Copies of this chain bind each other. A is one copy, B any other.
Amino acid sequence: MMLYVENLKKIINRIVSSDKIAVVSHVSPDGDAVGSSLALAIALRNSGKTVDVYLEDGVPAVYSFLNASDTVLNEWPGEEYNLAIALDAGDLDRLGKSVQVFNSAQVRINIDHHITNTNFGQYNYVDINASSTGEVIYKLIGMLELELNKEIAECLYVAIATDTGGFRYGNTTSNSMLAAAQLLRHDIEVSEITRRIFELTTEKKVRLLGAAISSLEIAAEGRAALMYLSNEERERLGAVSEDFEGIVNIARNIAGVEVAAFLVERQPKEFKVNFRSNSYVDVSEIAVRHGGGGHKRAAGCTITGIPLIEAMEKLKKELLEAL
Protein backbone atom coordinates (compact mmCIF):
# COMPACT_ATOMS: atom_id res chain seq x y z
CA MET A 1 0.00 0.00 0.00
CA MET A 2 2.95 2.35 0.58
CA LEU A 3 4.03 1.89 -3.02
CA TYR A 4 0.53 2.83 -4.07
CA VAL A 5 0.67 6.13 -2.20
CA GLU A 6 4.21 6.82 -3.39
CA ASN A 7 3.15 6.24 -6.99
CA LEU A 8 0.20 8.51 -6.51
CA LYS A 9 2.40 11.44 -5.48
CA LYS A 10 4.55 10.92 -8.56
CA ILE A 11 1.45 10.62 -10.73
CA ILE A 12 0.14 13.92 -9.41
CA ASN A 13 3.52 15.57 -10.04
CA ARG A 14 3.79 14.14 -13.54
CA ILE A 15 0.32 15.38 -14.48
CA VAL A 16 0.90 18.82 -12.96
CA SER A 17 4.21 19.23 -14.79
CA SER A 18 2.96 18.11 -18.22
CA ASP A 19 1.55 20.62 -20.69
CA LYS A 20 0.57 18.37 -23.55
CA ILE A 21 -1.34 15.28 -22.55
CA ALA A 22 -3.03 12.41 -24.37
CA VAL A 23 -5.89 10.56 -22.67
CA VAL A 24 -6.61 7.13 -24.16
CA SER A 25 -9.12 4.44 -23.32
CA HIS A 26 -10.32 1.07 -24.53
CA VAL A 27 -11.97 -0.15 -27.72
CA SER A 28 -15.79 -0.41 -27.68
CA PRO A 29 -15.87 2.33 -25.05
CA ASP A 30 -18.60 2.18 -22.43
CA GLY A 31 -19.90 5.02 -20.29
CA ASP A 32 -17.02 4.68 -17.86
CA ALA A 33 -14.37 4.89 -20.61
CA VAL A 34 -16.04 7.89 -22.28
CA GLY A 35 -17.11 9.68 -19.09
CA SER A 36 -13.83 9.36 -17.21
CA SER A 37 -11.77 10.33 -20.30
CA LEU A 38 -13.86 13.43 -21.00
CA ALA A 39 -13.99 14.45 -17.33
CA LEU A 40 -10.22 14.31 -16.94
CA ALA A 41 -9.66 16.04 -20.29
CA ILE A 42 -12.07 18.91 -19.52
CA ALA A 43 -10.64 19.43 -16.03
CA LEU A 44 -7.05 19.51 -17.33
CA ARG A 45 -7.95 21.75 -20.28
CA ASN A 46 -9.66 24.18 -17.92
CA SER A 47 -6.37 24.41 -16.01
CA GLY A 48 -4.62 25.54 -19.20
CA LYS A 49 -3.20 22.27 -20.54
CA THR A 50 -3.53 20.91 -24.08
CA VAL A 51 -5.31 17.58 -23.86
CA ASP A 52 -6.33 15.21 -26.66
CA VAL A 53 -8.62 12.23 -26.10
CA TYR A 54 -8.24 9.12 -28.26
CA LEU A 55 -10.92 6.42 -28.54
CA GLU A 56 -10.38 4.10 -31.48
CA ASP A 57 -14.11 3.46 -31.84
CA GLY A 58 -15.19 7.04 -31.13
CA VAL A 59 -17.99 8.07 -28.77
CA PRO A 60 -21.13 5.88 -28.93
CA ALA A 61 -24.23 7.91 -29.83
CA VAL A 62 -25.75 7.38 -26.39
CA TYR A 63 -22.91 9.40 -24.78
CA SER A 64 -22.59 12.05 -27.47
CA PHE A 65 -24.58 14.52 -25.35
CA LEU A 66 -21.62 14.80 -23.00
CA ASN A 67 -19.63 18.00 -23.13
CA ALA A 68 -16.48 17.84 -25.27
CA SER A 69 -17.48 14.49 -26.79
CA ASP A 70 -17.02 16.16 -30.19
CA THR A 71 -13.32 16.71 -29.43
CA VAL A 72 -12.58 12.97 -29.22
CA LEU A 73 -10.12 11.70 -31.86
CA ASN A 74 -10.07 8.17 -33.23
CA GLU A 75 -6.88 8.36 -35.29
CA TRP A 76 -3.42 9.44 -34.25
CA PRO A 77 -1.88 11.99 -36.61
CA GLY A 78 1.59 11.39 -35.10
CA GLU A 79 1.30 14.20 -32.54
CA GLU A 80 3.79 13.97 -29.64
CA TYR A 81 2.82 14.18 -25.97
CA ASN A 82 4.76 14.74 -22.73
CA LEU A 83 2.34 12.43 -21.01
CA ALA A 84 -0.21 9.79 -21.93
CA ILE A 85 -2.85 8.55 -19.48
CA ALA A 86 -4.67 5.27 -20.16
CA LEU A 87 -8.06 5.00 -18.47
CA ASP A 88 -10.24 1.98 -17.70
CA ALA A 89 -8.05 -0.45 -19.69
CA GLY A 90 -6.94 -3.69 -18.03
CA ASP A 91 -4.05 -4.19 -20.43
CA LEU A 92 -2.36 -2.62 -23.48
CA ASP A 93 -4.39 -4.75 -25.93
CA ARG A 94 -7.61 -3.14 -24.72
CA LEU A 95 -6.38 0.21 -26.05
CA GLY A 96 -6.63 -1.00 -29.66
CA LYS A 97 -4.81 1.33 -32.05
CA SER A 98 -4.67 4.03 -29.35
CA VAL A 99 -1.79 2.01 -27.89
CA GLN A 100 0.42 3.83 -30.43
CA VAL A 101 -0.42 7.19 -28.84
CA PHE A 102 0.18 5.73 -25.39
CA ASN A 103 3.52 4.11 -26.25
CA SER A 104 4.84 7.19 -28.05
CA ALA A 105 4.49 9.50 -25.03
CA GLN A 106 7.47 10.36 -22.83
CA VAL A 107 5.62 9.40 -19.65
CA ARG A 108 2.86 6.79 -19.45
CA ILE A 109 0.32 6.51 -16.63
CA ASN A 110 -2.20 3.70 -16.23
CA ILE A 111 -5.36 4.52 -14.23
CA ASP A 112 -7.96 1.82 -13.75
CA HIS A 113 -10.19 -0.12 -11.35
CA HIS A 114 -10.08 -3.66 -12.81
CA ILE A 115 -8.58 -6.34 -10.57
CA THR A 116 -7.04 -7.93 -13.68
CA ASN A 117 -5.02 -4.80 -14.57
CA THR A 118 -1.50 -5.73 -15.68
CA ASN A 119 0.12 -2.53 -14.36
CA PHE A 120 1.31 -1.75 -17.86
CA GLY A 121 2.11 1.91 -17.20
CA GLN A 122 5.32 3.52 -16.01
CA TYR A 123 3.10 4.68 -13.20
CA ASN A 124 0.01 2.78 -12.18
CA TYR A 125 -2.98 3.92 -10.16
CA VAL A 126 -5.28 0.91 -9.95
CA ASP A 127 -7.96 1.13 -7.29
CA ILE A 128 -9.75 -2.22 -7.29
CA ASN A 129 -12.13 -1.00 -4.59
CA ALA A 130 -13.50 1.71 -6.87
CA SER A 131 -16.74 0.94 -8.70
CA SER A 132 -15.46 2.57 -11.85
CA THR A 133 -12.59 4.54 -13.33
CA GLY A 134 -14.94 7.52 -13.03
CA GLU A 135 -14.82 7.15 -9.25
CA VAL A 136 -10.98 7.13 -9.40
CA ILE A 137 -10.95 10.22 -11.63
CA TYR A 138 -13.34 11.97 -9.25
CA LYS A 139 -10.78 11.48 -6.47
CA LEU A 140 -7.88 12.37 -8.74
CA ILE A 141 -9.46 15.67 -9.79
CA GLY A 142 -9.76 16.49 -6.10
CA MET A 143 -6.13 15.57 -5.44
CA LEU A 144 -5.02 17.65 -8.42
CA GLU A 145 -7.06 20.51 -6.94
CA LEU A 146 -8.74 21.06 -10.29
CA GLU A 147 -12.11 22.77 -10.51
CA LEU A 148 -15.08 20.42 -10.82
CA ASN A 149 -17.87 22.12 -12.79
CA LYS A 150 -21.24 20.94 -14.12
CA GLU A 151 -19.81 19.59 -17.40
CA ILE A 152 -17.21 17.49 -15.59
CA ALA A 153 -19.77 16.34 -13.02
CA GLU A 154 -22.04 15.07 -15.83
CA CYS A 155 -19.19 13.05 -17.37
CA LEU A 156 -18.22 11.52 -14.02
CA TYR A 157 -21.84 10.78 -13.15
CA VAL A 158 -22.27 8.91 -16.45
CA ALA A 159 -19.02 7.01 -15.79
CA ILE A 160 -19.98 5.89 -12.28
CA ALA A 161 -23.65 5.29 -13.12
CA THR A 162 -22.78 3.11 -16.12
CA ASP A 163 -20.38 0.84 -14.28
CA THR A 164 -22.66 0.46 -11.26
CA GLY A 165 -25.73 -0.18 -13.45
CA GLY A 166 -27.28 3.00 -12.07
CA PHE A 167 -26.07 2.31 -8.49
CA ARG A 168 -27.64 -1.15 -8.59
CA TYR A 169 -24.78 -3.64 -8.97
CA GLY A 170 -22.85 -5.18 -6.09
CA ASN A 171 -19.87 -2.89 -6.79
CA THR A 172 -21.91 0.11 -5.60
CA THR A 173 -20.20 1.22 -2.41
CA SER A 174 -20.74 3.96 0.09
CA ASN A 175 -17.88 5.81 -1.65
CA SER A 176 -19.60 5.53 -5.05
CA MET A 177 -22.70 7.09 -3.52
CA LEU A 178 -20.65 9.80 -1.76
CA ALA A 179 -19.01 10.71 -5.07
CA ALA A 180 -22.43 10.84 -6.74
CA ALA A 181 -23.74 13.03 -3.90
CA GLN A 182 -20.94 15.53 -4.54
CA LEU A 183 -21.54 15.43 -8.31
CA LEU A 184 -25.24 16.18 -7.78
CA ARG A 185 -24.29 19.43 -6.04
CA HIS A 186 -23.46 20.74 -9.53
CA ASP A 187 -27.12 20.68 -10.58
CA ILE A 188 -26.75 17.91 -13.12
CA GLU A 189 -30.06 16.62 -14.44
CA VAL A 190 -30.18 13.11 -13.06
CA SER A 191 -33.49 12.09 -14.62
CA GLU A 192 -32.52 13.25 -18.11
CA ILE A 193 -29.07 11.63 -17.95
CA THR A 194 -30.52 8.41 -16.54
CA ARG A 195 -33.15 8.32 -19.25
CA ARG A 196 -30.51 8.73 -21.93
CA ILE A 197 -28.15 6.07 -20.66
CA PHE A 198 -30.53 3.46 -19.22
CA GLU A 199 -34.03 3.86 -20.57
CA LEU A 200 -33.87 5.18 -24.09
CA THR A 201 -34.27 2.38 -26.60
CA THR A 202 -35.11 1.93 -30.28
CA GLU A 203 -38.10 0.47 -32.10
CA LYS A 204 -35.82 -2.30 -33.36
CA LYS A 205 -34.69 -3.26 -29.85
CA VAL A 206 -38.26 -3.23 -28.55
CA ARG A 207 -39.43 -5.48 -31.39
CA LEU A 208 -36.43 -7.73 -30.77
CA LEU A 209 -37.43 -8.00 -27.11
CA GLY A 210 -40.96 -8.86 -28.20
CA ALA A 211 -39.68 -11.58 -30.54
CA ALA A 212 -37.48 -13.04 -27.79
CA ILE A 213 -40.37 -13.03 -25.30
CA SER A 214 -42.64 -14.79 -27.79
CA SER A 215 -40.12 -17.66 -27.78
CA LEU A 216 -39.90 -17.82 -23.96
CA GLU A 217 -39.91 -21.35 -22.61
CA ILE A 218 -39.94 -22.09 -18.89
CA ALA A 219 -38.41 -25.41 -17.84
CA ALA A 220 -37.29 -27.29 -14.72
CA GLU A 221 -40.44 -26.33 -12.81
CA GLY A 222 -39.78 -22.64 -13.26
CA ARG A 223 -36.06 -22.69 -12.48
CA ALA A 224 -34.84 -22.40 -16.09
CA ALA A 225 -35.93 -19.95 -18.79
CA LEU A 226 -34.86 -20.10 -22.42
CA MET A 227 -35.47 -17.73 -25.33
CA TYR A 228 -34.29 -17.73 -28.93
CA LEU A 229 -34.22 -15.65 -32.06
CA SER A 230 -34.18 -17.55 -35.34
CA ASN A 231 -31.98 -16.44 -38.20
CA GLU A 232 -35.08 -15.54 -40.22
CA GLU A 233 -36.50 -13.35 -37.43
CA ARG A 234 -33.09 -11.77 -36.80
CA GLU A 235 -32.77 -10.84 -40.47
CA ARG A 236 -36.33 -9.54 -40.63
CA LEU A 237 -35.62 -7.23 -37.67
CA GLY A 238 -32.19 -6.26 -39.00
CA ALA A 239 -30.71 -6.91 -35.57
CA VAL A 240 -26.96 -6.80 -34.95
CA SER A 241 -24.90 -7.94 -31.95
CA GLU A 242 -25.27 -4.80 -29.81
CA ASP A 243 -29.07 -4.95 -30.13
CA PHE A 244 -29.14 -8.22 -28.15
CA GLU A 245 -27.39 -6.80 -25.11
CA GLY A 246 -29.29 -7.35 -21.91
CA ILE A 247 -32.23 -9.18 -23.47
CA VAL A 248 -31.39 -12.40 -21.60
CA ASN A 249 -32.05 -10.55 -18.33
CA ILE A 250 -35.80 -10.43 -18.89
CA ALA A 251 -35.76 -14.25 -18.58
CA ARG A 252 -33.31 -14.21 -15.67
CA ASN A 253 -35.52 -11.77 -13.73
CA ILE A 254 -38.61 -13.97 -13.67
CA ALA A 255 -39.31 -14.91 -10.05
CA GLY A 256 -38.16 -18.47 -9.38
CA VAL A 257 -35.79 -18.63 -12.35
CA GLU A 258 -32.20 -19.57 -11.43
CA VAL A 259 -30.69 -19.88 -14.88
CA ALA A 260 -31.55 -18.27 -18.22
CA ALA A 261 -30.28 -18.70 -21.77
CA PHE A 262 -30.82 -16.68 -24.93
CA LEU A 263 -29.87 -18.16 -28.32
CA VAL A 264 -29.43 -15.93 -31.34
CA GLU A 265 -29.04 -17.67 -34.68
CA ARG A 266 -26.44 -15.54 -36.44
CA GLN A 267 -26.52 -17.62 -39.61
CA PRO A 268 -28.22 -20.95 -40.27
CA LYS A 269 -27.03 -23.46 -37.63
CA GLU A 270 -24.75 -20.97 -35.86
CA PHE A 271 -25.93 -19.74 -32.46
CA LYS A 272 -24.52 -17.16 -30.11
CA VAL A 273 -25.69 -18.12 -26.63
CA ASN A 274 -25.91 -15.89 -23.58
CA PHE A 275 -26.26 -17.42 -20.13
CA ARG A 276 -27.22 -15.79 -16.84
CA SER A 277 -27.77 -17.27 -13.40
CA ASN A 278 -28.96 -15.78 -10.14
CA SER A 279 -27.57 -17.61 -7.12
CA TYR A 280 -25.85 -20.94 -7.49
CA VAL A 281 -25.52 -22.29 -11.05
CA ASP A 282 -22.05 -21.68 -12.53
CA VAL A 283 -22.97 -20.87 -16.15
CA SER A 284 -19.32 -20.46 -17.17
CA GLU A 285 -18.99 -24.26 -16.84
CA ILE A 286 -21.70 -24.76 -19.47
CA ALA A 287 -20.18 -22.10 -21.72
CA VAL A 288 -16.66 -23.56 -21.44
CA ARG A 289 -17.98 -26.97 -22.54
CA HIS A 290 -18.89 -25.28 -25.86
CA GLY A 291 -15.60 -23.42 -26.21
CA GLY A 292 -16.95 -20.21 -24.64
CA GLY A 293 -16.31 -18.58 -21.29
CA GLY A 294 -17.25 -15.89 -18.81
CA HIS A 295 -18.18 -15.62 -15.16
CA LYS A 296 -20.24 -17.75 -12.79
CA ARG A 297 -23.36 -15.64 -13.26
CA ALA A 298 -22.83 -14.42 -16.84
CA ALA A 299 -21.24 -16.39 -19.65
CA GLY A 300 -21.50 -17.03 -23.37
CA CYS A 301 -20.52 -19.42 -26.14
CA THR A 302 -21.18 -20.30 -29.78
CA ILE A 303 -22.90 -23.51 -30.85
CA THR A 304 -22.70 -24.65 -34.47
CA GLY A 305 -23.79 -27.46 -36.74
CA ILE A 306 -27.28 -28.21 -35.42
CA PRO A 307 -30.69 -26.71 -36.22
CA LEU A 308 -32.49 -24.35 -33.82
CA ILE A 309 -34.85 -26.87 -32.24
CA GLU A 310 -32.00 -29.28 -31.57
CA ALA A 311 -29.84 -26.49 -30.08
CA MET A 312 -32.70 -25.50 -27.75
CA GLU A 313 -33.21 -29.11 -26.63
CA LYS A 314 -29.49 -29.61 -26.08
CA LEU A 315 -29.21 -26.47 -23.95
CA LYS A 316 -32.36 -27.23 -22.00
CA LYS A 317 -30.88 -30.60 -21.08
CA GLU A 318 -27.61 -29.00 -20.00
CA LEU A 319 -29.40 -26.39 -17.89
CA LEU A 320 -31.45 -29.12 -16.20
CA GLU A 321 -28.26 -31.01 -15.38
CA ALA A 322 -26.66 -27.90 -13.93
CA LEU A 323 -29.64 -27.15 -11.68
Contact = CB atoms under 8 A, between A and B. Distances in A.
Contacts of A222: 203
Contacts of A195: 168, 253
Contacts of A289: none
Interface centre among A173, A202, A210, A249, by most chain B C-beta atoms within 10 angstroms, is A210
B213 A207 contact: yes
Given A199-B253, A210-B213, A253-B195, A168 B170 contact: no
Contacts of A191: 168-170, 172
Contacts of A218: 203
Interface in A234-283: 249-251, 253-255
B255 A200 contact: yes
A250 B182 contact: no
Interface centre among A175, A189, A201, A251, by most chain B C-beta atoms within 10 angstroms, is A201
A198 B254 contact: no
Contact of A181 (B166, B174, B189, B201): B174
The 3 A-B pairs at the shortest CB distance, nearest first, are namely A210-B213, A177-B181, A174-B184
Given A166-B166, A177-B184, A184-B173, A213 B202 contact: no
Interface in A173-206: 173-175, 177-178, 180-182, 184-185, 189-191, 194-195, 198-203, 206
Q: How many copies does the complex hold?
A: 2
A138 to B, nearest CB: 13
Interface of A: 166-170, 172-175, 177-178, 180-182, 184-185, 189-191, 194-195, 198-203, 206-207, 209-210, 213-214, 216, 218, 222, 249-251, 253-255
Contacts of A206: 213, 216, 250-251, 254
Given A178-B178, A202-B254, 6 more contacts: A167-B180, A169-B190, A177-B177, A203-B216, A206-B251, A210-B216
A200 B168 CA distance: 13
A203 to B, nearest CB: 5
A215 to B, nearest CB: 9
A194 B164 CA distance: 12
Contacts of A169: 190-191
A210 to B, nearest CB: 3
A259 to B, nearest CB: 15
